[in-house]
Amino acid sequence: MAVRQEVRGRVLVVRIEREEKRNAIDVDTALGIDEALNRLDDEPDLWVGVLTGTRTVFSAGTDLKAGLDFRTERGGEYGVIRRQREKPLVAAVEGIAFGGGFEIALACDLVVASTAARFALPETLRGLVPTSGALFRAVRALPPHVAKELLITGAELSGERAHHFGLVNRLTEPGHALEGALAVAEEICSSSPVAVRAVLGAVAAQLADDDRRGWAETERAVESIRGSADRHEGIAAFFERRPPRWSGR
């Protein structure tokens, strides 16, 4: 089972467990996340969700060997990226959150990470572009120059720097991100769930137009590289475990 669910009082913990694949997301994993978050949406006794990986890795993003991003009806990519949620979702990040894994964290309302966490968007190193929200959510969550550095160089952002810039809400010692996220979830549960849903709905409504523009620009970026020689070379180099030989075409 690639995704496990655990209820702790009013909190639903959703764990991605494909550690041998660095918790990369394939179709079954996306469906598991979608099922869990549908449960969070639909069960009135659940007030907060916590989305996490294993003790050593959050997620390396899309499992390229399994194909491109899989979308679910209610959640979009990975079962979470385009979900219209009314209940708060907290990411608990240990180890790497690369590519789509970083985009999953960006799709959450709050992020708790350990000092061992690392965030990166390596798509351009493979001749690709981020397709699951990072082109606008990273710029929203980070200073623009920092976001652009991550987007065009593939540089890594440590948990400490992510906390410094405000991307990460709480920083913990290694191995304690889930514990920290559960503490935040309990704090949220001290508030009225009706009021919390109203607040999140108001914030989402204010960002809706920006999101629509962001998705449109993301699609434009995807189309601009879809037939490029660099895209084919980058993917081939990734699977062949060699440096890409870019042509600029």
Distance between CA atoms of residues 40 and 47, nearest Å: 7
Distance CA 207, CA 184 (A): 24
Contact 47, 188 (CB under 8 A): yes
Packing angle, helices 134-141 and 144-153, rounded to 10: 140
Query: Looking at 123, 149, 186, 219, which residue is catalytic?
Result: 123
Catalytic residue among 77, 103, 160, 217: 103
Is 19 an active-site residue? no
73 included as an active-site residue: no
Sign of CA dihedral 25, 30, 32, 34: positive
Residues designated as active site: 103, 123
